[in-house]
A and B are shown apart, each in its own frame.
Chain A
Amino acid sequence: MKQRQTGILLTSVASFAMLASAAAADTPIRIGVPVGLSGANSVVAPSVVQSTELAIEQINAAGGVLGRPLELVVADDGSGAAGAQRAFDTLIFQRQVDALISMQTSAARNAGLPILSRGNVPYIYTSFYEGRSCHPNMFVNAWVPEQQVPPLVDHFNATYDAQSYFLIGSDYSFGRGMLEFTRAYIEEQGGTVVGEDYLPMDGTDWAPIISNLRGSEADAIITSTAGGAPNVTLTRQLRDAGIDLPYGNLAVDEGTAASMGSVAEGIYISASYVTGIDSDTNREFLAAMEAHFGDELRTPNDLSVPQFEAVLAYAAAAEQAGTTDTAAVIDALAEVTVEGPRGSISMSHQRHAPLTMYLGQVTADGGVEVITAFDAVDPGDQCPDL
């Protein structure tokens, strides 16, 4: 304790001035966004930053939160653990943010959690992931396997009478986590998994897996690769080898599908957001994004939209709690419901959110045609202890 006192004594006058003004009404509430500006997530990160900017701007235009404006603080997490630790340190200890809202890789999220414990701020995680990550300060508003996989498998069973499945993934937490659930769900529905294989994240040659797939006489394929290169590589090589089985891809999004062109045609996807959602909120959101970013606009997607909604959720929770105090905001976060492009979102279910899931199929021009929507799909038991 003595050290602390000395430390305070030695702190400069400027800091005292800052401390004194902290209570002032117009001091902004800082929202920290650690995100992969470099590394694997760098492709999608700009769209996430854009939607955060729009949310903050809209809230500030409407008078802010508790009469105070929101301020965005972005930090690059390098899409990995080491970068995430730096980013969390920067945001919590250097920039002293009031809350963290982030779309991150699982590795980056996990690396941040110990720092979150030390810094004790509320944290909303906005990326879909393999599930079962729990922390007293953390909420999740994106999908988990329990929400994404069943629509796909149910559809394959109903439409193609698919009895046997071949599962292909990238060898990492998301890839294995998703397919682990998929296998269990398929078997629960009476189907069988006739093959399951993974390629390292940086692997490029899927030929032996494809040969095994050929030999397996499976009725359908479900893949869960890392986004970007592995997904493109696998899809290309599947098509190139003449495989035309029903193909469900747990990792493709509209943007990637569009860039792959005809190769992606016919792929089934399952998502909580597609741009074609037919609602006023979504149309307004898209129009606002378009108006705000113009030529710079990155197409909103299943990662950037939850980020947008998470900012709204934090604002609502702070208003409800009447303070930015961490404990109060955490209590409120479990209760508030926000209306976003994806519909009504409430992170009420063991810190996770029931979501409307859309089953879509990629069309010849790279667009996504929605086949069915499933309302309020339950996330299942993610964090029974919270």
Chain B
Amino acid sequence: MSELAKEHPRAAVGDTGLWSSRVARRVAVLVVFGTLVLVAPWFLDAYTVNILVRAFFIAIVAVTVDILWGYSGYLTFGQAAFFGLGAYTLAITFSQLGFGPGQALLALGAAMVLAALLGALVGWLSFYPGASPFYATIISLVLPIVLVQLIYSGGNFTGASSGVVGYFSFPLMTETWFRVAGISMLAVAVLAHIAVSSDAGRLLRALRDNEMRCAYLGINTAAIRITLLTICAAIAALAGAGYAAFGGIAAPENAGFVFGTQLVVMVALGGRGMLTGAIVGALSIELASAYLSGILPYAWELLVGIAFVTVIVLMPSGLFGLLRAMAQRWTPWLFAPAPAVRLGDSAPKARESAVDAVVLEAQGVARSFGALTVLSDVNLTARRGELVSLVGPNGAGKTTLMKCLADGREASAGDIRIAGTPIKGMVPHRIVGLGLGRKFQAASVFETMSVADCLRIARSGRDKPSVLRSCAALNLPAAARSVVEASGLDTRFDEDARNLSHGLKQALELAMVLALEPDLVLLDEPTAGLTRSERNVFATILTRLVEQDRLCVLIVEHDLDFVRQISSRIVVLHQGKLVLDGTVEEVVNSPLVAEIYSGHQVTDDPAPTPTNTPEARA
């Protein structure tokens, strides 16, 4: 700790100091806005107060859209449906049962429960390992359409196209509604802010940046997304219930697809991925359309359309993002620095298996795409303390084999066991749980996150992240720590991963994989594009991992010199078949290998373009 503190002066600042400066700022901001909401009705005219009450409720849903889309990368038009469900639940409860404190509690409770159930169902439908983000977005489009159709078919119960109207609701003055709605919006914003800035909230951005990497860090991405949607659905329903309680009507368009797109427009214009942007967007669009759409009924939609396209294409961070960037440049003192990173050791995982236990057994593995067979009858066994190199010309099936080992849904036939457990049909995050770590061919990290955050995400499977707090410490197992220190990443913890050199990205990804404390590591061409000295550092690290930490490493590699230098065993694949499995000596001196390589030397490109593989594009 003391050594590190010297290297990173800011690391010496303790948790409490940071807490006070950051939190004091936030509390101050909150007090200012809270006071503003409380006194504003005295200064505003009745019309603006009315408009703003509705706008506050809409801003709450906009915040949920921002969390789902801006933070976790799930573009959704479906939040309108949950808002509408909340509005209808309240309106129907009050019209059928009358108004009263009991009915009010029942209505709010039912709104949240129903929306959460529907959210979970939609989540189950939208998110499963390997689901396309397009698919989830299209489902979010279908949801409000189906819901509105149900409302239309509901006869007098739902009021069909005319909505539910004419019920008694809370007898509050408009000014009181303004304060209730405004404070609710601030409360949701504060809770959302705490959640997204927490250790768990960081996972959302990781999902947005690189879902596949998350899955291969052992994170159950589908479960997180479903949970998040369930919570956001319940919050949206509460906002909808408030909207209907104030407005005295629940109408189909409160649940409709057009409203869903308007919410996205609000968040996009305001600025996605920053809660303030969503609120600014929702309030300003609601206010502007109240004042302008009456004056310019024909031009209003055109103006919104043009502004929307311009923002999406030219400034994806939205208007508020632009303002914030300017403020950061001119008044940097307004922005508290991120808490400094303290590097620490994690308690080592208790390894149950023997130092030379078999961690990988593959029997008769085959993979075919229709009539095309890429792999057939591959048998392979590997133990801890072994470094097995997988070689063969391009198209031999090396990467396909790696995929089959890491994803139980890939192989067409055969039996694969990781740490003795058959993985057939198993999704990646569960296989990672068995002790597998996979590094992709093209460095796969979380581009918009800092180095420290990337590593924290990798640890989130082991150190359960808090939803409320953000921890400054970064505890890594020895192997990961040695990679961080040997590569020099430890001097760049605050830097965004996208700014790293190719070599450092590779090192970061390796450190992330090692942070999982795996027993078996799959590395796909880890040295492609690295300099000679970087390669040597890498070889040292690998050797240490195998000999000292007793990991089993399976590596796909083209550089035969490098392979010779590090391997304890070499496996040769050719045309989808395993043709040789032996010691370095046996393989290097084999006439078969010479034949394969001489026959293919010309076509075998030693530096394949990494973007070719679907893995890299994903």
Q: How far is the CA of A174 from the CA of B161 in the complex (A)?
A: 8
Does B47 make an interface contact (CB < 8 A)? yes
- Interface flags, B172-214, vs A, CB<8A=1, else 0: 0011000000000000000000000000000000000000000
Which A residues are CB-close (under 8 A) to B160?
Answer: 171-173, 176
Q: Which of A63-71, A74-82, A214-222, A343-351 contacts B (4 or more CB under 8 A)?
A: A74-82
Interface centre among A81, A106, A115, A171 (most CB of B within 10 A): A81
Q: Which of B251-259, B308-316, B391-399 contacts A (4 or more CB under 8 A)?
A: B251-259
Which A residues are CB-close (under 8 A) to B293?
Answer: 38, 76, 78, 83, 86
Does A242 make an interface contact (CB < 8 A)? no
Q: Which of B162-170, B502-510, B516-524 contacts A (4 or more CB under 8 A)?
A: B162-170
Which residue of chain A is the closest to B49 with respect to CB atoms? A93
Task: Report the count of interface residues on B (CB-CB < 8 A).
Answer: 38
Which A residues are CB-close (under 8 A) to B477?
Answer: none
Q: How far is the CA of A207 from the CA of B276 in the complex (A)?
A: 50
Residue contact A114 to B42, C-beta cutoff 8 Å: no
Say which residue of B45, B159, B248, B289 sits within 8 Å of A93 (CB atoms): B45
Q: How far is the CA of A200 from the CA of B293 in the complex (A)?
A: 28
| A89-B50, A110-B165 known; A80 vs B251 contact (CB < 8 Å) | yes
Does A303 make an interface contact (CB < 8 A)? no
Say which residue of A6, A113, A172 sits within 8 Å of B152 (CB atoms): A172
CB distance from A248 to the nearest CB of B (A): 22
Which A residues are CB-close (under 8 A) to B289?
Answer: 86
By size class, the interface of chain A is 35 or more
Say which residue of B50, B152, B174, B251 sits within 8 Å of A200 (CB atoms): B152
Which B residues are CB-close (under 8 A) to A82?
Answer: 251, 253-254, 259
Residue contact B51 to A173, C-beta cutoff 8 Å: no
Does A37 make an interface contact (CB < 8 A)? yes
Does B330 make an interface contact (CB < 8 A)? no
Which residue of chain B is the closest to A35 with respect to CB atoms? B297
Residue contact A75 to B294, C-beta cutoff 8 Å: yes
| A38-B301, A76-B294, A85-B54 known; A10 vs B42 contact (CB < 8 Å) | yes
Residue contact A171 to B153, C-beta cutoff 8 Å: yes
Residue contact A94 to B249, C-beta cutoff 8 Å: no
Which A residues are CB-close (under 8 A) to B42?
Answer: 3, 6-7, 10
| A76-B297, A107-B163 known; A89 vs B51 contact (CB < 8 Å) | yes
| A37-B297, A76-B293, A89-B50 known; A94 vs B162 contact (CB < 8 Å) | no
Which residue of chain B is the closest to A129 with respect to CB atoms? B162
Which residue of chain B is the closest to A174 with respect to CB atoms? B161
Does A87 make an interface contact (CB < 8 A)? yes
Interface centre among B42, B51, B294 (most CB of A within 10 A): B294
Residue contact B175 to A90, C-beta cutoff 8 Å: no
Which B residues are CB-close (under 8 A) to A87?
Answer: 294
Q: How far is the CA of A86 from the CA of B295 in the complex (A)?
A: 12
Q: How far is the CA of A106 from the CA of B159 in the complex (A)?
A: 10
Does A210 make an interface contact (CB < 8 A)? no
Which A residues are CB-close (under 8 A) to B253?
Answer: 80-82, 107
| A38-B298, A85-B247, A173-B161 known; A93 vs B47 contact (CB < 8 Å) | yes
Does A328 make an interface contact (CB < 8 A)? no
Which A residues are CB-close (under 8 A) to B162?
Answer: 106-107, 109-110, 173
Does A383 make an interface contact (CB < 8 A)? no
Which residue of chain B is the closest to A45 with respect to CB atoms? B297
Residue contact A107 to B297, C-beta cutoff 8 Å: no
Does B499 make an interface contact (CB < 8 A)? no
Which A residues are CB-close (under 8 A) to B613?
Answer: none
Which residue of chain B is the closest to A177 with respect to CB atoms? B160
Residue contact B166 to A113, C-beta cutoff 8 Å: yes
Residue contact A86 to B249, C-beta cutoff 8 Å: no
Residue contact A106 to B298, C-beta cutoff 8 Å: no
8 A Cβ contacts from B25-52 to A: 41-43, 45-47, 50-51
| A10-B42, A37-B297, A38-B298 known; A81 vs B249 contact (CB < 8 Å) | yes
8 A Cβ contacts from B271-302 to A: 289-290, 293-294, 297-298, 300-301
Which B residues are CB-close (under 8 A) to A135?
Answer: 166
Does A258 make an interface contact (CB < 8 A)? no
Does B96 make an interface contact (CB < 8 A)? no
Residue contact A111 to B41, C-beta cutoff 8 Å: no
Q: How far is the CA of A333 from the CA of B62 in the complex (A)?
A: 44
Does B149 make an interface contact (CB < 8 A)? yes
Which residue of chain B is the closest to A86 with respect to CB atoms? B290
CB distance from A208 to the nearest CB of B (A): 17
Which residue of chain B is the closest to A176 with respect to CB atoms? B160
Which A residues are CB-close (under 8 A) to B149?
Answer: 171, 200
Q: How far is the CA of A85 from the CA of B251 in the complex (A)?
A: 11
| A81-B163, A85-B247 known; A94 vs B45 contact (CB < 8 Å) | yes
Which B residues are CB-close (under 8 A) to A78?
Answer: 293, 297
Which B residues are CB-close (under 8 A) to A201?
Answer: 152, 161
Say which residue of A90, A111, A117 sits within 8 Å of B290 (CB atoms): A90
Say which residue of A75, A110, A115 sits within 8 Å of B251 (CB atoms): A110
Which residue of chain B is the closest to A116 with respect to CB atoms? B248
| A3-B41, A82-B259, A86-B51 known; A113 vs B248 contact (CB < 8 Å) | yes
Which residue of chain B is the closest to A39 with respect to CB atoms? B297
CB distance from B380 to the nearest CB of A (A): 56
Which B residues are CB-close (under 8 A) to A114?
Answer: 165-166, 247-249
Which A residues are CB-close (under 8 A) to B259?
Answer: 82
- Interface flags, B3-34, vs A, CB<8A=1, else 0: 00000000000000000000000000000000
8 A Cβ contacts from B383-402 to A: none
Q: How far is the CA of A87 from the CA of B293 in the complex (A)?
A: 10
Q: How far is the CA of A86 from the CA of B51 in the complex (A)?
A: 7
Which A residues are CB-close (under 8 A) to B153?
Answer: 171
Which residue of chain A is the closest to B290 with respect to CB atoms? A86
Q: How far is the CA of A33 from the CA of B47 in the complex (A)?
A: 17
Q: How far is the CA of A244 from the CA of B155 in the complex (A)?
A: 32
Q: How far is the CA of A176 from the CA of B46 in the complex (A)?
A: 38
Q: How far is the CA of A111 from the CA of B87 in the complex (A)?
A: 13
Which A residues are CB-close (under 8 A) to B249?
Answer: 81, 85, 110-111, 113-114
Q: How far is the CA of A83 from the CA of B43 in the complex (A)?
A: 25
Residue contact A106 to B161, C-beta cutoff 8 Å: yes
Which B residues are CB-close (under 8 A) to A115?
Answer: 248
- Interface flags, A330-341, vs B, CB<8A=1, else 0: 000000000000
Which A residues are CB-close (under 8 A) to B155?
Answer: 176
Residue contact A107 to B43, C-beta cutoff 8 Å: no
Residue contact A107 to B251, C-beta cutoff 8 Å: yes
Say which residue of A38, A76, A93, A172 sits within 8 Å of B161 (CB atoms): A172
8 A Cβ contacts from A85-121 to B: 85-87, 89-90, 93-94, 106-107, 109-111, 113-115, 117-118
CB distance from B169 to the nearest CB of A (A): 8
Interface contacts beyond A78-B297, A113-B166, A171-B149: sample of 5 additional A-B pairs, CB < 8 Å, sorted by A: A38-B300, A83-B293, A90-B47, A93-B46, A172-B161
Q: What are 5 A-B contacts with C-beta separation under 8 Å? A: A10-B42, A89-B50, A106-B161, A107-B163, A111-B163
User: Which B residues contact A (CB, under 8 angstroms)?
Assistant: 41-43, 45-47, 50-51, 54, 149, 152-153, 155, 159-163, 165-166, 174-175, 247-249, 251-254, 259, 289-290, 293-294, 297-298, 300-301
> Sorted from nearest, which 7 A-B pairs have the closest CB atoms?
A114-B248, A81-B251, A172-B161, A94-B47, A76-B297, A37-B297, A110-B165
User: Which A residues contact B (CB, under 8 angstroms)?
Assistant: 3, 6-7, 10, 37-38, 75-76, 78, 80-83, 85-87, 89-90, 93-94, 106-107, 109-111, 113-115, 117-118, 135, 171-174, 176, 200-201
